[in-house]
Structure 1
Amino acid sequence: MVEQAKPTDETDGRSGRRDRGAQRKYRLPTEDRLTRAAIHYLDRYSSSLENLRKVLTRKVKRAATANGRAPEEFREIVDQVVEKCRRAGMVDDRTYAETKLAGLRRRGRSKRQIEATLASKGVDRDLIATVVDQDNTSDLEAAQTYARRRKLGPWRTRGQREERREKDMAALCRAGYSYDIARKVIDAADDGEATSAAV
């Protein structure tokens, strides 16, 4: 008879994984550790300066709290790391805003949604206005893209169009489009008419 090893207090008995309730050990943040964390984050995600600052601040807060220290002690280190990333060209708010805008427009997002998304990521309001003003895509074109992706209005099957009209209009309005634009897209006779209305 083979004796099985008993799980320790910190693991749940399955291949040494930590129990969800076990306390994770956090090391105190240093400039080097935070720089590595920032590089790792920026390798995976595009970010604005303020968003990177928020990500690093959350990391610092977890580590400082776990070690009985005040997160405010490490604020200067976070600022230094963010500035270092900016100087190295790893973070640029204008490039981030332009890239994010292009991606959101491809998914059919409205001007309002784009402005709100960029503002939530900490992009300066003046920069948001500049980038959005340079965008050549009209809200009507974006609304058509949104409706096509969600199969609303003219992109629905014939039998469902009339009974789902109000819900389709509401979906476009919730997505940040005006009632007038929603009506033009949803009431187009077919997807060809909806597309030609934007031109």
Structure 2
Amino acid sequence: MRSRHALSDRRKKPLDAARLDELALAYVARFATSRAKLARYLSRKIGESDWIDEADAMTSCEAVVAKMDRLGFVDDRQYATMRGASMTRRGLGARRVRAQLRVDGIDEGDAGEAVESAEASATASALGFARRRRFGPFAKAPALDPAQRERQIAAFVRAGHAPALARRVLALTADEAAALDGEPGVD
């Protein structure tokens, strides 16, 4: 028995520049995005469809992305700031923020402010990560096993924190962590 949705049964839908513009507008209305992410989305839609317009598909894609940027629907600097702040609140470090912004297609100039903000709130972010994972001062019981402690440090490093900061947070007592959490300079 053949599946109703087998790939050979599917016909590619026709796509032209006007429909590509509509797809881009719907995408930016629904998601906060960068220029590069919008371009990847539109390129994927072009590949999934049957291009019927006289103009070149990739040229049309670039034109639509430029139009969305010109209209202010896509702003890489604002996207980087928003994405970096969100990741920092989740407890991720500056290295992880920088890497994710690079994946999202944000250049260093637009990502600079977001990365600087993540670096400035590194201690608060690391404390938030420790609280979420119940490491160090937030653990039910202290990690006395050196192997367990190294695994916790590795988790901090994967989250984008410096190993020295991870060791410092893991060495804090509950009172010291509460005092750092309450400092006005720590976000």
Does the alignment reach a TM-score above 0.5? Answer: yes
Query: Is the counterpart of residue 29 in structure 1 residue 20 in structure 2?
Result: no
Greater RCO between the two (CA within 8 Å, min separation 6)?
2
Name which of 100, 105, 115 aligns with 2:88.
105
Check whether the contact 2:97–2:160 (CA below 8 A) recurs between aligned residues.
no
Query: Is the counterpart of residue 165 in structure 1 residue 143 in structure 2?
Result: no
In structure 1, the gaps of 5 or more residues are 1-6, 13-17
Structure 1 residues 146 and 180 mapped into 2: Cα distance closer, same or farther (>3 Å)?
same
Check whether the contact 2:94–2:122 (CA below 8 A) recurs between aligned residues.
yes
How many percent of aligned residue pairs carry the same amino acid? 30
Name which of 29, 32, 44 aligns with 1:58.
44
Q: Secondary structure at the match of 1:76?
A: helix
Query: Is the counterpart of residue 48 in structure 1 residue 34 in structure 2?
Result: yes
What does residue range 184-199 of structure 1 map to in structure 2 within 5 Å? 184-190=168-174, 192-197=175-180, 199=183
Structure 2 distance, partners of 1:109, 1:168, is 14
Check whether the contact 2:93–2:118 (CA below 8 A) recurs between aligned residues.
no
In structure 2, the gaps of 5 or more residues are none
Aligned-partner residue type, residue 143 of structure 1: A
Q: Which runs of 4+ in 1 moved over 6 A?
A: none
What TM-score, normalized by structure 1, do the two folds share?
0.79
CA shift, 1:25, in A, is 2.1
Check whether the contact 2:36–2:104 (CA below 8 A) recurs between aligned residues.
yes
| CA deviation vs aligned residue, 1:132-165 (integer Å, no higher than 9, x gap) | 225574212111111111222222212x632332
Name the larger-Rg structure.
1
Number of aligned residue pairs: 178
In structure 1, what is the equivalent of residue 160 of structure 2?
176
Check whether the contact 2:81–2:111 (CA below 8 A) recurs between aligned residues.
no
Structure 1 residues 131 and 189 mapped into 2: Cα distance closer, same or farther (>3 Å)?
closer
Structure 1 distance, partners of 2:83, 2:150, is 30
Q: Secondary structure at the match of 1:161?
A: coil
CA shift, 1:62, in A, is 2.0
What does residue range 114-193 of structure 1 map to in structure 2 within 5 Å? 114-134=97-117, 137-158=120-141, 161-163=143-145, 164-190=148-174, 192-193=175-176
CA shift, 1:193, in A, is 1.4
Structure 1 residues 131 and 178 mapped into 2: Cα distance closer, same or farther (>3 Å)?
closer
What TM-score, normalized by structure 2, do the two folds share?
0.83
Structure 2 distance, partners of 1:44, 1:149, is 29
